């Protein structure tokens, strides 16, 4: 076990898996970890840049999941909800593509609830997206209905 990994284990940090494809921030508001020999290893720290090249490199290595410390999961949720809101309002994307992205993200959130029973973070993410759905339905019911009908 590396010194850095051992330090995390000693602190009792819990990590939450997030899909590589869900990370779109250029300047990170949370730490991102990868698993190396089953241990979390810091990949990018808060304030570091995360680029499309980083994502492409990780994907080429077969990395599908990154790990966020559980205490930073709120930052991840805010980033994800902001991204979905941008997608929802992006008139340059077709309604079909917008719906696909939003539905895929919501599907993953529900899968996380089922895959990680007893962890509060997936439940909080699901609650947060439901509040976002309420806002979309109230402000742009036509587009929201289209997303639901897909």
Is-contact 31 69, C-beta < 8 A? yes
Q: Which two tokens stand for residue 50?
A: 């995360």
- pLDDT tens digits for range 87-102: 888 989 888 888 888 8
pLDDT of residue 34: 96
pTM: 0.76
Banded model confidence at residue 140, pLDDT cuts 50, 70, 90: confident
Q: What is the dihedral of CA 118, 122, 126, 127, to 10 degrees?
A: 70
**CA–CA dist 97, 26 (Å, integer):** 22
Q: What is the largest CA-CA distance in the chain?
A: 54
Three-state DSSP at 119 gives: coil
- pLDDT tens digits for range 15-47: 988 888 888 878 899 999 999 888 899 999 999
pLDDT of residue 150: 56
Is-contact 19 105, C-beta < 8 A? no
């Amino acid at each position: 076990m590396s010194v850095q990994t051992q330090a995390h284990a000693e602190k009792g940090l819990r990590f939450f898996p997030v899909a590589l494809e869900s990370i779109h921030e250029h300047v990170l508001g949370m730490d991102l970890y990868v698993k190396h020999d089953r241990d979390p290893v810091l990949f990018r720290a808060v304030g570091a840049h995360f680029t499309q090249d980083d994502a492409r490199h990780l994907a080429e290595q077969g990395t599908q999941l990154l790990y966020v410390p559980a205490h930073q999961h709120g930052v991840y949720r805010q980033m994800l909800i902001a991204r979905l809101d941008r997608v929802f309002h992006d008139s340059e994307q077709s309604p079909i593509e917008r719906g696909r992205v939003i539905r895929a993200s919501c599907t993953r959130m529900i899968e996380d609830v089922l895959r990680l029973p007893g962890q509060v973070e997936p439940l909080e993410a699901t609650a947060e997206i439901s509040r976002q759905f309420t806002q979309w339905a109230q402000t742009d019911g036509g587009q929201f209905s289209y997303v639901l009908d897909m």
